[in-house]
Structure 1
Amino acid sequence: MSATRLRYTVLMEQNEDGGYTVTVPSLPGCISEGSTWEEALAHIEEAISGYIEVAKKLGKPIPVEVSVPLNTSNAEI
């Protein structure tokens, strides 16, 4: 049996204090933070792995990617 690699879109938002909050729209409740962009990405990777591991242990289906509309009214250019 071959391993499957899952990919998820993450939404990263810079906090007022300069850190970052990251969410995964396809995985409800999967959220993490980091003081830098790189740290936030590393933490969300761990959170995604943990989310999937728990879902498997509980016999729950592993969510697949869902499309999320980009709110361009708040985007900075």
Structure 2
Amino acid sequence: MTPIDERRQRATPKVRDAIRLVERDGWRLVRVRGSHRQYRHPNKPGTVTIAGKSMGERREAGRGEGVRNGMRYTIVIERSPTNYAAYVPDLPGCVATGATREDAVREIGEAIRLHIASLREHGEAVPEPHCTATVVDVAAAAG
């Protein structure tokens, strides 16, 4: 494993680690829908949505409210040695994990819907999508 791979592995927390981090920081669980957990802080603004299954956790049925305004958010997917993690740059605190890339994409879609519903429920503005992404091909350096 290269040093970059090791750093990525450390930078992509498991669901249980993400939960531990937000709870240690004072965020409190306010809603669970399927494998999605939402946290609010008594003093800090915003919502943290963590999507993904902890070890041994069964996936429950349930779908969030749909995003009816047709917004399209850019997601970033990172692969670790054990799973895939996804986040939404335009929706801070909205993250998901999955065993496969497809699982992570599905989970982050559900997390986005739940996250937006929570923002609206608490009278907070829903951020407009601004981020974009592209892939750049780079020729290998001559050696």
Structure 2-normalised TM-score? 0.44
* Inter-partner Cα distance in structure 1 for 2:133 and 2:110: 25
Paired residues for 1:39-50 under 5 Å: 39-50=103-114
Aligned residue for 1:21, secondary structure, equals strand
**Structure 2: gaps (5+ residues):** 1-67
* Inter-partner Cα distance in structure 1 for 2:77 and 2:126: 22
Which has the higher Rg, Structure 1 or Structure 2?
2
* Inter-partner Cα distance in structure 2 for 1:28 and 1:5: 19
Give yes or no for contact 2:74–2:133 (8 Å, CA) kept in 1: no
Give yes or no for contact 1:25–1:68 (8 Å, CA) kept in 2: no
My pick for the range that moved more, 31-40 or 59-68, is 59-68
* Inter-partner Cα distance in structure 2 for 1:69 and 1:29: 19
Shift of 1:4: 1.4
Aligned residue for 1:39, secondary structure, equals helix
Aligned residue for 1:59, secondary structure, equals coil
Shift of 1:66: 2.4
Q: Residue 21 of structure 1 aligns to which amino acid in structure 2?
A: A
Name the structure 1 match of 2:79: 14
* Inter-partner Cα distance in structure 1 for 2:80 and 2:104: 12
* Inter-partner Cα distance in structure 1 for 2:109 and 2:132: 19
Q: State the identity as a percent.
A: 32
Structure 1-normalised TM-score? 0.79
Name the structure 1 match of 2:88: 24
Q: Structure 1 segments of 4 or more deviating over 6 A?
A: none
User: RMSD across aligned C-alpha pairs, in angstroms?
Assistant: 2.2
Aligned residues: 70
Alignment CA distance shift 1:69-1:45 (3 Å)? closer
Q: 1:36 and 2:88 equivalent?
A: no
